[in-house]
Amino acid sequence: MTMKTARPAWRLSALAAAFALAPLTTHVAQADDWAVTGTVGLTTDYVFRGISQTDENPAIQGSIDVGHASGFYAGVWGSNVDFVDGENIVPGDEANAEIDYYGGMKGKFTDELGWDAGALYYSYPSAASDLDYDYWEGKLALGYSPSGMSMSPSLGLSVFYSPEFFGNIGAATYVNGSLGLKLTDIIGVSASIGNQQFSDSGPVDYIDYKVGVRADVAGVGLELGYTDTDLDKSDCGDTDWCEGRVLFTISKSL
């Protein structure tokens, strides 16, 4: 059985806003108003919005991004995936890699309030085209970082919309809120909660959340987190993909 096709809610990424790894970003090159940055990391499970994308196995992920002083940005992000496509899929037609392309504009209303508007295209190059895994998603986001406060709090609110979601199941909307706090110069904590909704009556609407602590030491990022959803095991094809789990991630600048 193709688990991902049965429950397309599991393909839920918002990588232009925040990678599942939350990896370090490093300066690669800069010319005039342009800059190129890159990320690389290893995580115990590629989990996003509470759902495993690698059948609960580790993932290697990375990205390349280009940004302009005007606020324009574009990039590409990649990871291994495993949806357990099943016996009915011809060998070689399964999804084993995800490559996401994204771009947009970002700026600030004030020194404390920023905005981000963009689009993302999620692709699975090795998957057969009739699986209909590839899809588009639009994004609108706001970020608020009040100045002069202890622990430098940051608040985020983002909305993602796809007119035709993973597996051609129809329109889908995801809303996410996040909070970040800086405990020391190298340690921070974060929490987020999101709600995924579908216009079709087939997929199950659900809530996910994540809490974590991160340390950045000598160019290496370490993150320990916990993620979960309100889905039952029966909603996930009798797998543990949507159950609560602890994640560990290590990332390093290029």
pLDDT tens figures, 134-155: 999 999 999 999 998 999 999 9
Closest CA to 22 of 147, 130, 180: 180
Q: Name the strand (E) or helix (H) holding 105.
A: strand 97-108
Residues 6+ apart with CB under 8 A from 220: 24, 250, 251, 252
**25-29, 88-92, 172-176, 235-239 — which is least confidently predicted?**
25-29
Confidence of residue 19 (pLDDT cuts 50, 70, 90): very low
Counted residue by residue, the chain has a size of: 254
Nearest to 176 by CA among 190, 196, 148, 146: 196
Q: What is the pLDDT of residue 253?
A: 78
CB 183 within 8 A of CB 197: no
At 220-249, the pLDDT tens digits run 999 999 999 999 988 888 889 999 999 999
By mean pLDDT, which of 9-18, 41-50, 213-222 is the weakest? 9-18
pLDDT of residue 85: 61
| Whole-number pLDDT of residue 93 | 74
Quote the percentage of the chain above a pLDDT of 90: 69
- CA 215 from chain centre, in angstroms, equals 20
Q: What span, in angstroms and rounded, lies between the C-alpha atoms of 229 and 46?
A: 15
Mean pLDDT is lowest, of 70-79, 103-112, 199-208, for: 199-208
Predicted pLDDT at 92: 62
pTM across the whole model: 0.86
User: Quick one: pLDDT at residue 31?
Assistant: 65
Q: Sign of torsion, CA 10 16 17 20?
A: positive
- What is the dihedral sign for C-alpha 135, 172, 51, 226? positive
- Select the more confidently predicted residue: 125 or 17: 125
How far apart are alpha carbons 31 and 35 in whole angstroms? Answer: 7
The token pair at 25 is 């970003």
> Residues 10-19: what's their mean pLDDT?
40
- The confidence score (pLDDT) of residue 21 equals 37
Phi and psi at residue 222, to the nearest 5°: -120, 130
Nearest to 66 by CA among 107, 115, 104, 117: 104
Q: What's domain 3-252's superfamily in CATH?
A: monomeric porin ompg (2.40.160.40)
- Give residue 94's pLDDT: 80
Percent of the chain whose predicted confidence (pLDDT) is above 70: 85
In this prediction, residue 8 carries a pLDDT of 39
Question: Cα(82)–Cα(236) distance, rounded to whole angstroms?
Answer: 15
Q: What is the pLDDT of residue 171?
A: 94
Q: What is the pLDDT of residue 87?
A: 53
**Sequence-ordered list of residues with C-beta below 8 angstroms from that of 130, at least 6 positions apart, any chain:** none
Average pLDDT in the chain: 86
pLDDT in tens, 184-210: 999 999 999 999 999 977 788 999 999
Looking at residue 129, what is its pLDDT?
86
Q: How far apart are CA 216 and CA 223, in angstroms?
A: 9
Q: What is the CA radius of gyration of the chain?
A: 18
